[in-house]
Amino acid sequence: MADGFWAKLKAGLSRTAEAMANLLARPMDQQSIEQLRELFIAGDFGVSTANEAVAAAQKVWQSDSTMRKAGPAEAAAAVIESHLQICEPWQPQEKSKPLVLMLLGVNGAGKTTTAAKLVARWQKSHQRCLLGACDTFRAAAGEQLATWADRLGVEIVQGAAGADPAAVAFDSVKAGIARQSDFVILDTAGRLHTKAHLLDELRKVVRVVNKAMPGAPHEKWLVVDGSLGANSLEQAKVFHEAVGLTGLIVTKLDGTAKGGALVAIVRELGVPVRFIGIGEKMEDLQPFDKKAYARSVLGLEV
Ligand SMILES: Nc1nc2c(ncn2[C@@H]2O[C@H](COP(=O)(O)OP(=O)(O)OP(=O)(O)O)[C@@H](O)[C@H]2O)c(=O)[nH]1
Ligand SMILES: [Mg+2]
């Protein structure tokens, strides 16, 4: 794993991490305990996780005088990691060729950039990828993906502006089968989770993709902006109810003090985090590593 990546994540979360590390390095008293709890809550980890992490840190502080330097922080990190157990490293199902993956989420979450980053990543291991430009809502959206496809030298299926996204998805999957692609990545239009007809459209894409290839889409990943905090939990709930998510990609964890919402989403929905994004460059997307994340949050060495 790229060391630089975790250093960047840590830097992104540094406002919280530094404050936590400072608090945990001092003798714990009622005031610092409350401050610690507030930091977890401000970071959108959710009240239960905040309480459990603080209690674990406090217990170590009270019981073990020999390892006080990192002990309480280690204990809090272990609590966070324990709530992310379902986030095992993702392995594609061998059986499905192509593996059809749908990216969805609200406007500007990072879907299109993530589609490109996934292609860049899988090309490195010589996997054949095909992009489906199912965001036909804005003409510029198709162009944005086409620019990436060009840069990455990867095939793309596009529809005319205003075309039915489900039809483009269908054609993409058929093209992926014909060309023996390993991955078909469907980029969809950003949509408000509060608009019922937009969620219906998404359901239709899922149904039609399943007609193009029974069992597809194999993955429905919600791309969430990690800096949105508690808002992203609400979004995730609605998308999960609409299509049944199989994973999360949390972007923009660089430069946010609110990196805790992913823990709240995983706890509440039972959907694993698959990748995280910490910048706009291709290598700024990495598989989610629960231990490294939990330790970064507390400012501990990864
Ligand atoms: N800092 C940072 N920026 C990111 C990250 N991921 C995406 N972005 C930026 O976020 C902006 C929106 O990204 P897009 O990929 O266009 O988002 P989208 O979800 O496709 O947006 P719509 O198609 O409009 O719904 C772009 O400027 C990206 O470069 C990330 O991990 N960190
Ligand atoms: Mg987009």
* pLDDT per 10-residue tile (average), the chain, 302 residues: 68 77 82 90 92 92 68 91 95 86 95 97 96 90 93 94 93 97 95 82 96 97 90 92 96 84 95 94 94 90 82
Question: How many A from CA of 227 to the centre of ligand 1?
Answer: 12
Nearest residue (CA) to ligand 1, atom 4: 280
Distance in angstroms (rounded) separating the CA atoms of residues 7 and 150: 31
Atom 21 of ligand 1: nearest residue by CA position: 108
Of 161, 163, 121, nearest in space to 285 by CA: 121
Amino acid at 237: K
Place of tokens 């399943």: 210
> What is the pLDDT at residue 126?
95
| Pairing verdict, β 247-251 and 183-187 | unpaired
Residue 277 alpha carbon, nearest atom of ligand 1: 31
Distance CA(203)–CA(242), nearest Å, equals 7
At 3 the pLDDT is 61
Q: Where are the chain's structural domains?
A: 16-82, 99-297
Scanning the chain, the segments in alpha helix (DSSP H) are 3-12, 14-25, 30-42, 47-63, 71-82, 111-124, 139-152, 165-178, 196-212, 230-243, 261-269, 290-297
Distance 226 CA to ligand 1 centre (A): 11
Ligand located closest to 114 CA: 1
Q: Please state, in angstroms and rounded to a whole number, the distance separating the CA atoms of residues 5 and 75.
A: 24
Report pTM.
0.93
Query: Which of 100, 302, 108 lies closest to 216, judged by CA?
Result: 100
Pocket test for ligand 1, best of 198, 248, 254, 280 (most atoms within 8 A of CB): 280
CA distance 18 to 28: 16
CB atoms under 10 Å from CB of 178, counted, come to 9
Tell me the CA–centroid distance for residue 168 and ligand 1, in Å.
22
| C-alpha 107 – ligand 1 centre gap (Å) | 9
Ligand 1 atom at minimum distance from 276 CA:
31
The CATH topology of domain 99-297 is: Rossmann fold (3.40.50)
Give the pLDDT of residue 1.
45
User: What gap in Å lies between CA 141 and CA 201, rounded to an integer?
Assistant: 17
> Which of these, 77, 149, 50, 64, lies nearest to 299 by C-alpha position?
77
Cα 127 to averaged position of ligand 2 atoms, centre (Å)? 23
For residues 119 and 148, what is the distance between their CA atoms, to the nearest angstrom? 9
Ligand 2 centre distance from Cα of residue 144 (Å): 8
Query: What atom of ligand 1 comes closest to residue 285's alpha carbon?
Result: 31
Residues with CB under 6 A from ligand 1: 105, 107-113, 135, 141, 190, 223, 251-252, 254, 277-280, 284
Backbone angles phi, psi at 231, to 5 degrees: -55, -35
Atom of ligand 1 nearest to the CA of 284: 31
Between the alpha carbon of residue 288 and those of residues 39, 111, 272, the distances in Å are 23, 17, 9
d(CA 65, ligand 1 centre) in Å? 46
Q: Please provide residue 6's backbone torsions phi and psi, each rounded to the nearest 5 degrees.
A: -70, -30
